[in-house]
A and B are shown apart, each in its own frame.
Chain A
Amino acid sequence: MEIQNLFVSDFLIDFGHKEPAITVFKRRRRPIQPITHRDWRKPEIIEFASLFTARMSCNSSVTRVHVSSVGQTPRVPVHLMPCEIEHNGPAQVSQYLTATMKDRKYEKTVSFRGRGLKGQELSCPQGYTGLVLKEINKTGSDQEDRTVKVSSVFDKVTYWNLETAPNSDDTIVMAMDWPELAEAIHGPVDD
């Protein structure tokens, strides 16, 4: 079994688990250290064990959240747009979006790329706060511990529908049910 070729193709055959399955190590940049075939009589076993360890370490990695600076983090407006914008980075949101938003009685309206949007503001559920997390020193590896910081905070979300008026059946409105239901499912029960 030519293990290094497999790394190149980004797929690993995982025999170490309960059933044979193909495992993808997503976004792997660095290959796992090549296996030293010390026991040349049973090379496969060493390889499989090594793969298994690799996967375990992927489960053992943690992502720390730096929250100490949260007090000084800027409060920002956040908008959930009904389209996928293929971009991560700066945008003149206040100049284009905020400046042209209109507040109607039951909805807000704006246009984006020539399309009419209707939206409304939602507050974070009681006892909850909005955080935007940003990865620092991104390694691109699944096996190493990662760190994210709180880059901004928010207490309400403006969500936009494409042309349809905001209403209580909008999925994002329904999703806001979750924290209260979670409290019922996870809160302590009486003895």
Chain B
Amino acid sequence: MAAKKTRTPNVQNDSWVVIAAESVIDTQKQDSDPAFVRLRNPSTDAASLYMLGSGDVQLYEVKAFEEDFHSWFVGQTVQRDGRLLFVTPMDPLYLILPYLIKSGKEGKFQPVDQVVTDEEFPACSRLLSCTRSLASMHHIAEEKEVGSLKFHRYSQEKTMDWLKKKVERTVIALKKRNISVGEGVKSTTYVKVKSESDSNEEDYLRYAHGLISEYISEDLSKALLTHLHLPELTSPKETEPRSKKRKLSDNPVEAGEDYTKFNSADFARKPPKKMTAAQKSLAKVDKTGMKPLSSFFSPKVKAEKK
């Protein structure tokens, strides 16, 4: 067999296979064409591709299904680019939110058209034309009306309630769609470790929170986690060095002020390997009438010391 050829870049791509919400091509009420625009992605702060429907009344998100080594046959043609684009309706509030938060730091009520502006992404002001934008602004901001003018101020409290509702909606959809939300590994080579029935409510909540977090900043994502009463999970790799650090410095200092804390289960499990400065100074203190430090340590620690 002949030697395999290396792949050349596909530079001349000029066609796309798309699955789009029917409203995109609704020719009934169109007065202008829909358009792909670049806007600031609220999660990454970088440019992402979106679509504004006819008359800017609806915002759409653009996602590409992309697997290596794929191409399309479209009718009697080949399209080398094997991606499948999904154009799905999107809530414009996710994109408006970062601008509102930014201006909210000043604590003033402001007209939104002065808030939602971006030199780098001029199309962002068009978000305010979306039917849902102004109508749903109360989900993320306090409103004040002065005459015919409306002013808004970002409200974290409202936003959290709004995002919580988003999470709840998403949980329902995940269950309905039977989507595996457990931590089980799923790939072609590994079988699902956990079946759907093993997934508990928390798994669903965390999964839905993760999905919503694709549309909000990291800070907001963390705040939402707290709002949902979900403790923050950190990967073992990250926690390990941090906890070590804390054990070596923080705790003994506390102990120096109130050494009964040595007795806490937490400390007993992981005692400091070295005497810290605080401990050393404690050791110099007259200890008559005091229990020796070692008596506060658990037997396990003693065994370790031997």
Contacts and interface: CB of A to CB of B under 8 A. Distances in A.
A124 B70 CA distance: 19
Given A184-B169, A186-B61, A88 B14 contact: yes
Given A60-B123, A183-B173, A87 B27 contact: no
Interface in B190-226: 211-212, 215
B259 interface: no
B37 A76 contact: no
A74 B75 CA distance: 9
B90 interface: yes
B33 A66 contact: yes
A93 B199 CA distance: 45
A108 to B, nearest CB: 14
Contact of B82 (A80, A130, A132, A182): A80
Interface in B15-39: 15-22, 24-25, 27, 30, 33-38
Contacts of A80: 70, 72, 82, 84
A56 B120 CA distance: 5
Interface in B54-74: 54, 61, 63, 65, 67-74
B40 to A, nearest CB: 9
Nearest to B59: A186
Contact of B18 (A131, A179, A182, A188): A131
Contacts, number: 225
Chain B interface bracket (under 10, 10 to 19, 20 to 34, 35 or more): 35 or more
A65 interface: yes
A89 interface: yes
A68 B71 contact: no
Contacts of B10: 86, 88
Contact of A70 (B15, B16, B25): B25
Contact of A185 (B73, B162, B212): B212
A77 B160 CA distance: 46
B32 to A, nearest CB: 9
Interface in A71-107: 71, 74, 76-94, 97
Contact of A59 (B13, B71, B120, B174): B120
Chain A interface bracket (under 10, 10 to 19, 20 to 34, 35 or more): 35 or more
Contacts of A133: 15-16, 18
A135 interface: yes
Given A64-B35, A178-B63, A185-B212, A85 B71 contact: yes
Nearest to B23: A127
A62 B32 CA distance: 13
A79 B34 contact: no
B15 A67 contact: no
Contact of B177 (A85, A89, A134, A180): A180
B286 interface: no
Given A70-B27, A90-B76, A78 B17 contact: yes
A95 to B, nearest CB: 9
Contacts of A85: 71, 78, 80
B27 A67 contact: yes
A107 to B, nearest CB: 18
B122 interface: yes
B17 A132 contact: yes
Interface centre among A61, A87, A189 (most CB of B within 10 A): A189
Given A81-B72, A131-B19, A135-B14, 18 more contacts: A55-B120, A59-B47, A62-B123, A65-B51, A78-B72, A81-B71, A84-B68, A88-B12, A90-B77, A124-B19, A129-B21, A130-B17, A171-B67, A181-B170, A181-B211, A183-B88, A184-B173, A185-B166
